[in-house]
């Protein structure tokens, strides 16, 4: 009996360790290697022109700050708020100066839902300001979530989410690719979500939009093997995304008072993992990055590899989540 018990003990220990993870094991390796060899990031991002959409706050803003701290990249920051963009640009300049990185940042006030032609015009204007000719890396981050049951969600909310998250991402990719003029390696980094891999009660249209984003970038990867395409499947991150979420209608505010950031991934940690995975080799292991607090990461593994069990759990969790939300309590 000793041997079976020893094996069982190792399994229990292994599961105990796994349930403490906030990212896939491969991302832990990537994060460790980048900490030991920071030049890995510099090799990928130095001297590159990097577009970040949704750059005025949250993951977009934190990504800009980390790139300015660690590399001498040329950043194009695109978002709708001029005031927030100016503040992030100033913060980037301060970080770059403090770390002597040599990074530069310009901002473009724009909305990705305006379409490919407008995005192309804005990109060329920013490239001219940077004295550059093409975008090397695009971090497609602009998006918006929701907090409302599927049957209560008005059609205009669903249309707005799909237009921003899906069509906005597609327009961004096409505008970026229209700037390509050299054989220099290119990369697309798409902020998808765990919602693109599994159902999300109170976020049905958001989940549908991220599934579309996931499959669109998978298709681009298949069509363009010369471009490194990275999709980031992130769980709840401590940003203000919930405060900007849609409610059931365009004028209804969602119930977000009870959502606590301490139950979500630290934003600095999330961006660290994203950047580490985006530069790590071999590429075929790091084309899709999973990062999330528990229990969502475990649920994603269940839904990926045991989908019937995942759907069963979803039918149990979903009604409880809606009930909790209706009480005004935290759903995280």
Boundaries of domain holding 179? 25-326
Q: Is 207 helix (H, G, I), strand (E, B) or coil?
A: helix
Q: Which tokens belong to 115?
A: 């379409």
What is the number of structural domains in the chain? Answer: 1
Task: Find tokens 């379409």 and name the residue.
Answer: 115
Q: Is residue 8 part of a domain?
A: no
Q: Is residue 7 part of a domain?
A: no
Q: Is residue 10 part of a domain?
A: no
Find out whether 126 and 174 touch, Cβ atoms under 8 Å.
no
Q: Is residue 1 part of a domain?
A: no
Q: Is residue 194 part of a domain?
A: yes
Find out whether 67 and 40 touch, Cβ atoms under 8 Å.
no
Ranges of residues in the chain with a pLDDT under 70 are 1-18, 253-262
Provide φ and ψ at 9, rounded to 5°.
-60, -40
* Strand ranges inside 202-251, DSSP E: 227-234
Burial bucket for residue 74 (CB in 10 Å: 0-12, 13-18, 19+): buried
Q: Is residue 42 part of a domain?
A: yes
Question: For position 243, what pLDDT does the model report?
Answer: 79
Q: Which are the contacts of 24, defined by CB distance < 8 A and separation ≥ 6?
A: 289, 290, 291, 297
Provide φ and ψ at 18, rounded to 5°.
-60, -40
Q: Is 49 helix (H, G, I), strand (E, B) or coil?
A: strand
User: What pLDDT digit, counting tens, does each position of 68-101 carry?
Assistant: 999 999 999 999 999 999 999 999 999 999 999 8
What's the CATH number where 282 sits? 3.40.50.720
Q: Is residue 331 part of a domain?
A: no
Q: Is 328 left (phi over 0), alpha (psi -120 to 50) or beta?
A: left
Question: For position 308, what pLDDT does the model report?
Answer: 94
Pairing of strands 49-53, 74-79: parallel
Q: Is residue 15 part of a domain?
A: no
Among the listed residues 228, 214, 86, the one whose alpha carbon sits nearest the alpha carbon of residue 77: 86
């Amino acid at each position: 009996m000793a041997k079976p018990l020893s094996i069982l003990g190792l399994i229990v220990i292994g599961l105990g360790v796994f349930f403490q993870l906030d990212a896939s094991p491969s991302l832990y390796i990537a994060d460790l290697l980048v900490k030991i060899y920071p030049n890995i990031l510099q090799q990928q991002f130095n001297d590159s022109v990097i577009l970040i959409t949704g750059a005025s706050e949250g993951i977009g803003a934190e990504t800009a700050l980390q790139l300015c701290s660690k590399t001498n990249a040329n950043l194009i920051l695109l978002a709708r708020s001029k005031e927030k963009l100016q503040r992030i640009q100033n913060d980037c300049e301060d970080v770059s100066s403090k770390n002597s990185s040599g990074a530069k940042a310009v901002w473009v006030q724009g909305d990705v839902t305006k379409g490919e032609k407008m995005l192309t015009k804005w990109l060329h204007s920013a490239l001219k300001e940077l004295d550059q000719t093409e975008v090397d890396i695009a971090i497609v981050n602009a998006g918006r979530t929701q907090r409302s049951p599927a049957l209560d969600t008005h059609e205009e909310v669903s249309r707005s989410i799909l237009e921003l998250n899906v069509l906005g991402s597609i327009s961004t990719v096409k505008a970026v690719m229209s700037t390509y003029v050299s054989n220099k390696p290119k990369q697309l980094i798409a902020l998808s979500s765990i919602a693109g891999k599994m159902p999300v009660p109170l976020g049905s249209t958001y989940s549908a939009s991220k599934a579309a984003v996931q499959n669109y970038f998978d298709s681009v990867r298949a069509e363009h093997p010369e471009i490194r395409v990275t999709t980031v499947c992130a769980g709840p991150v401590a940003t203000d995304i919930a405060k900007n979420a849609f409610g059931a209608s365009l004028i209804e505010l969602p119930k977000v008072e009870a959502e606590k950031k301490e139950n979500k991934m630290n934003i600095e940690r999330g961006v660290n993992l994203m950047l580490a995975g985006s530069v790590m080799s071999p590429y075929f292991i790091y084309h899709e990055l999973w990062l999330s607090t528990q229990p969502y990461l475990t649920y994603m593994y269940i839904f990926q590899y045991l989908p019937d069990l995942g759907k069963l759990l979803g039918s149990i969790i979903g009604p409880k989540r809606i009930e909790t939300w209706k009480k005004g309590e935290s759903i995280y």
